[in-house]
């Protein structure tokens, strides 16, 4: 392969933080017990330790390839563009070299059942690869990510015939896929989709419509979300279709009409697709397309969080390298106070985000393994089946809580850190000769795709308010308990964490007061944060009837940021218990968070008249309606 540098680097072994989480934060015993026997037999492992070692050895091998060959092509990928010629996407040399090398190493088989010639790795073993590739070349990652996720959706919901025809060819790398949701006038609001299918006499379907902003839209296997009939309304009329880009004779079945011009990710084709009578097959049951697509999207959102961590690691190392070599006033600029603090916070934010990401990927891996165990292991006793079901529920709840938080925070923080890296480079950072401007452009997509940061915030807020409505007493105990813990605990980290929770709970109380006042049109003096139990008793019977959630919606991102920071703080404190040398990370994270929380709480509590006046001119849409058709 051309372009390989002589000096070898390994992006797995040179990062002790990845190793720590891989070893200490992944429940390998649970994952081994949940693995399907046929998969374990195909892997040749007989214990959890062997299971872990197999994937660690694999990641070390891939880490060297990524740190040498893929990294050597990074600058070329940044400069070489894709082209669309006669409906075919033509890849430039550098990306082609990367993809061919990775497919030769069998990366397309990762995460796919051994039943279909795959390498059945748990998600917790795949996410370090996501981080390493995005530390090197996000475009390369976006080209190789469309194997296992597509195969897993077909494996979970497709027919046996579909599985046998499609999944082995994905595992071999012959075929890749795409997830075709977005349309020109329907982004997050999937209820507005216009593309539709018409059922044919032979049982196949014909698709009509167009999709836009589809990553890897040129892949052979397109999972298309479309209505089951022209003009059908509502999410329950959405189907998921399997549509091949070319038929058995090599003729186009749907058309790639455009490659989007983007500020970044020039090596990843983002396509506009046209379906004009395209032959397709229904996946699963009629009307279940939205639910099936969420299955893929939830996994993708955890993946986006790891993309963010990879970019954060890249810009941290780039900033360290430059500031340690660049001198001003007789010393490296890394030693100047302003930059020294920024470097520290780049490091801490990267470690904090990675810590929660690994908890989320562990939950995802266990949830997916439990689903497959229940479906494929026919030898489960009734008792074991119940145990697996409980595990599935437990980790599904954690995943529901953490997914919008890690997607929101990692995406936003990656952009911020890339921006800080550019600033540290001064004028050099704003030139194409240096890398910071490239990394900033590569990061900009993260808060946008797989559900925008705002969609993640609405999802988080919706779940938060539902918890308050369903369990007001638990909310009271949490709100008061944080204060008591603040006074009682001797652990300084826990005491600081309790202060953060208090600020969050106080903010939520303020939101509830605002909701009550706007919906009940009252200024009741009983509504006071000083008397939380009485306030909750007053509103418990009424809040479920509210149709105006506007006061809360204004603050969705603030609440989401606070919850994300708290979850990361909890994860960092757990890390410090495992390894006391990590205590400083948790301490810095908590110290920086408190003044930020106090400011966010002040913004939540502020009744800003100019905004209120402006919004008075806009009709109210309740939260249920706003979220009903979104990709949540």
pLDDT in tens, 282-307: 999 999 999 998 888 888 999 999 99
How far is Cα 499 from Cα 501, in angstroms, rounded to an integer? 5
- Asked if residue 523 and residue 392 are part of one domain, the reply reads no
- Asked if residue 486 and residue 612 are part of one domain, the reply reads yes
Contact 417, 346 (CB under 8 A): yes
- Asked if residue 93 and residue 25 are part of one domain, the reply reads yes
Rounded to the nearest integer, the mean pLDDT of the chain is: 91
Which 8-state DSSP code applies to residue 92?
Answer: P
Q: Is 5 a residue whose pLDDT tops 50?
A: no
How far is Cα 199 from Cα 197, in angstroms, rounded to an integer? 7
Q: What percent of the chain has pLDDT over 70?
A: 91
Tokens standing for 452?
A: 């925008």
Q: Is 632 a residue whose pLDDT tops 90?
A: no
Read off the pLDDT band of 67 (50, 70, 90).
Answer: very high
In a domain, 28, yes or no: yes
Report pLDDT for 549: 82
| Domain termination residue (choose one: 287, 321, 340) | 287
- Asked if residue 372 and residue 349 are part of one domain, the reply reads yes
Report pLDDT for 3: 45
Report pLDDT for 168: 97
Which 8-state DSSP code applies to residue 82?
Answer: P
Report pLDDT for 154: 96
- Asked if residue 374 and residue 465 are part of one domain, the reply reads no
What pairs with residue 215 in β-bridges? 270
Dihedral class, residue 231 (left if φ above 0, else alpha if ψ from -120 to 50, else beta): left
Q: Check residues 542 and 284 and name the one with the higher pLDDT.
A: 284
| Domain termination residue (choose one: 397, 431, 465) | 431
Phi, psi dihedrals of residue 240, rounded to the nearest 5°: -110, 125
Lowest mean pLDDT among 59-68, 472-481, 544-553, 575-584: 472-481
- Asked if residue 612 and residue 538 are part of one domain, the reply reads yes
In a domain, 440, yes or no: no
Lowest mean pLDDT among 46-50, 310-314, 488-492, 575-579: 488-492
- Asked if residue 215 and residue 305 are part of one domain, the reply reads no
Q: Is 4 a residue whose pLDDT tops 50?
A: no
Tokens standing for 22?
A: 């891989």
- Asked if residue 107 and residue 188 are part of one domain, the reply reads no
Report pLDDT for 545: 67
> What mean pLDDT do residues 160-170 have?
97
> What mean pLDDT do residues 378-404 have?
94
Report pLDDT for 245: 96
Contact 305, 407 (CB under 8 A): yes
| Domain termination residue (choose one: 287, 322, 346) | 287
Tokens standing for 211?
A: 């999709």
Q: Which of 606, 407, 416, 583 is nearest to 496 (CA)?
A: 583
Tokens standing for 578?
A: 């495992």
Q: Is 587 a residue whose pLDDT tops 80?
A: yes
In a domain, 3, yes or no: no
> Dihedral of CA 293/299/302/303: which sign?
negative
Which residue is associated with the tokens 């009424």? 542
Report pLDDT for 407: 97
How far is Cα 124 from Cα 44, in angstroms, rounded to an integer? 19
Determine which helix (DSSP H) or strand (DSSP E) holds 215, and give its type and residue range. Answer: strand 205-215
- Asked if residue 509 and residue 473 are part of one domain, the reply reads yes
Q: Is 631 a residue whose pLDDT tops 60?
A: no
Per-residue pLDDT tens for 544-573?
667 778 888 999 999 999 999 999 999 999
- Asked if residue 188 and residue 119 are part of one domain, the reply reads no
Determine which helix (DSSP H) or strand (DSSP E) holds 198, and give its type and residue range. Answer: strand 196-199
- Residues of the domain holding 239: 176-287
* CATH number of the domain to which 310 belongs: 1.20.140.10
In a domain, 112, yes or no: yes
Q: How many residues does the chain have?
A: 632
3-state helix, strand, coil in the chain (%, to 5): 65, 10, 25
Report pLDDT for 241: 97
Contact 9, 64 (CB under 8 A): yes
Report pLDDT for 515: 81
> What mean pLDDT do residues 438-444 have?
97
Determine which helix (DSSP H) or strand (DSSP E) holds 505, and give its type and residue range. Answer: helix 492-520
How far is Cα 557 from Cα 551, in angstroms, rounded to an integer? 13
Report pLDDT for 560: 97
How far is Cα 303 from Cα 133, in angstroms, rounded to an integer? 12
Phi, psi dihedrals of residue 29, rounded to the nearest 5°: -65, -45
Q: Is 6 a residue whose pLDDT tops 50?
A: no
Read off the pLDDT band of 158 (50, 70, 90).
Answer: very high
Determine which helix (DSSP H) or strand (DSSP E) holds 594, and give its type and residue range. Answer: helix 583-605
Which 8-state DSSP code applies to residue 178?
Answer: E
In a domain, 11, yes or no: no
Per-residue pLDDT tens for 257-286?
999 999 999 999 999 999 999 999 999 999
Report pLDDT for 313: 98
Tokens standing for 250?
A: 């090599």
At 197 the three-state DSSP class reads strand
How far is Cα 81 from Cα 94, in angstroms, rounded to an integer? 10
- Asked if residue 225 and residue 78 are part of one domain, the reply reads no
- Asked if residue 27 and residue 66 are part of one domain, the reply reads yes
* CATH number of the domain to which 231 belongs: 2.40.110.20
Report pLDDT for 531: 62
How far is Cα 139 from Cα 150, in angstroms, rounded to an integer? 18
Q: Check residues 485 and 304 and name the one with the higher pLDDT.
A: 304
pTM exceeds 0.85, yes or no: yes
Phi, psi dihedrals of residue 241, rounded to the nearest 5°: -115, 145
Domain count, the chain: 3
Determine which helix (DSSP H) or strand (DSSP E) holds 207, and give its type and residue range. Answer: strand 205-215
In a domain, 8, yes or no: no
In a domain, 444, yes or no: no
> What mean pLDDT do residues 90-117 have?
95
> What mean pLDDT do residues 131-141 have?
97
Q: Is 166 a residue whose pLDDT tops 90?
A: yes
In a domain, 55, yes or no: yes
How far is Cα 346 from Cα 313, in angstroms, rounded to an integer? 9
Read off the pLDDT band of 630 (50, 70, 90).
Answer: low
Strand spans (E) along 229-369? 238-244, 255-259, 270-283, 327-328, 331-332
Which residue is associated with the tokens 């925070």? 409
Contact 507, 562 (CB under 8 A): yes
> What mean pLDDT do residues 43-54 have?
97
> What mean pLDDT do residues 224-247 have?
93
Q: What percent of the chain has pLDDT over 90?
A: 75
Residues 408, 410, 415, 421, Cα dihedral to 10° = 160
Report pLDDT for 95: 95
């Amino acid at each position: 392969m051309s372009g390989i540098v002589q000096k070898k680097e390994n992006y797995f072994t040179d990062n002790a933080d990845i190793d720590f989480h891989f070893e200490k934060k992944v429940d390998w015993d649970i994952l081994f017990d949940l693995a399907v026997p046929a998969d374990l037999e195909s892997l040749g492992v007989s214990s959890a330790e062997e299971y872990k070692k197999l994937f660690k050895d694999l990641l070390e091998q891939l880490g060297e390839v990524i740190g040498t060959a893929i990294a050597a092509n990074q600058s070329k990928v940044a400069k070489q563009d894709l082209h669309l010629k006669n409906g075919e996407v033509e890849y430039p040399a550098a990306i082609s070299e990367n993809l061919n090398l990775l497919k030769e190493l069998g990366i397309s088989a990762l995460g796919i059942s051994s039943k279909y010639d795959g390498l059945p790795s748990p998600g917790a073993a795949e996410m370090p690869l996501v981080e390493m590739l995005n530390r090197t070349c996000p475009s390369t990652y976006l080209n190789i990510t469309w194997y296992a996720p597509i195969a897993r959706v077909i494996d979970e919901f497709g027919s046996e015939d579909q599985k046998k025809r499609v999944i082995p060819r994905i595992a071999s790398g012959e075929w890749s896929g795409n997830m075709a949701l977005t349309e020109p006038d329907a982004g997050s609001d999937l209820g507005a989709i216009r593309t539709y299918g018409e059922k044919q006499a032979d049982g196949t379907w014909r698709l009509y419509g167009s999709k836009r902003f589809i990553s890897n839209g040129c892949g052979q296997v397109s999972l298309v979300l479309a209505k089951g009939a022209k003009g059908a309304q509502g999410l329950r009329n959405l189907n998921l279709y399997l549509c091949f880009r070319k038929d058995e004779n090599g003729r186009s079945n749907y058309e790639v009409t455009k490659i989007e011009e983007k500020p970044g990710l020039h090596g990843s084709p983002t396509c506009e697709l046209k379906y004009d009578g395209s032959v397709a097959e229904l996946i699963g049951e009629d009307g279940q397309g939205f639910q099936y697509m969420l299955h893929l999207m939830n996994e993708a959102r955890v993946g986006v969080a790891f993309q963010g961590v990879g970019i954060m690691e890249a810009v941290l190392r780039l900033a360290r390298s430059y500031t340690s070599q660049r001198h001003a006033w007789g010393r490296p600029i890394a030693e100047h106070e302003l930059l020294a603090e920024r470097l520290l916070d780049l490091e801490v934010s990267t470690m904090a985000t990675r810590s929660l990401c690994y908890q989320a990927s562990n939950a995802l891996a266990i949830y997916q393994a439990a689903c497959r165990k229940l479906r494929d292991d026919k030898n489960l006793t009734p008792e074991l089946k119940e145990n697996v079901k409980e595990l599935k529920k437990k980790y599904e709840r954690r995943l529901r809580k953490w997914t919008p938080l890690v997607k929101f925070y990692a995406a936003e923080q990656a952009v911020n850190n890339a921006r800080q890296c550019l600033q540290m480079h001064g004028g050099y950072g704003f030139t194409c000769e240096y890398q910071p401007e490239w990394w900033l452009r590569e990061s900009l997509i993260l808060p946008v795709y797989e559900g925008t940061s705002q969609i993640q915030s609405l999802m988080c807020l919706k779940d938060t308010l539902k918890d308050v409505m369903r369990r007001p007493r638990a909310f009271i105990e949490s709100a008061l308990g944080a204060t008591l813990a603040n006074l009682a605990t001797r652990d300084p980290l826990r005491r600081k964490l309790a202060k953060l929770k208090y600020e969050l709970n106080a903010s939520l109380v303020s939101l509830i007061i605002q909701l009550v006042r706007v919906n009940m049109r009252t200024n009741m003096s009983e509504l006071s944060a000083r008397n939380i139990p009485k306030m909750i008793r007053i509103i418990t019977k009424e809040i479920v009837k509210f149709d105006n959630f506007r006061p809360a919606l204004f603050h969705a991102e603030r609440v989401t940021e606070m919850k994300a920071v708290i979850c990361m703080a909890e994860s960092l404190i757990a890390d410090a218990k495992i390894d006391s040398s990590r205590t400083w990370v948790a301490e810095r994270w908590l110290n920086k968070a408190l003044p930020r929380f106090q400011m966010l709480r002040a913004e939540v509590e502020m009744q800003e008249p100019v905004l209120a006046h402006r919004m008075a001119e806009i009709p109210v849409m309740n939260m249920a309606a706003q979220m009903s058709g979104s990709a949540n």
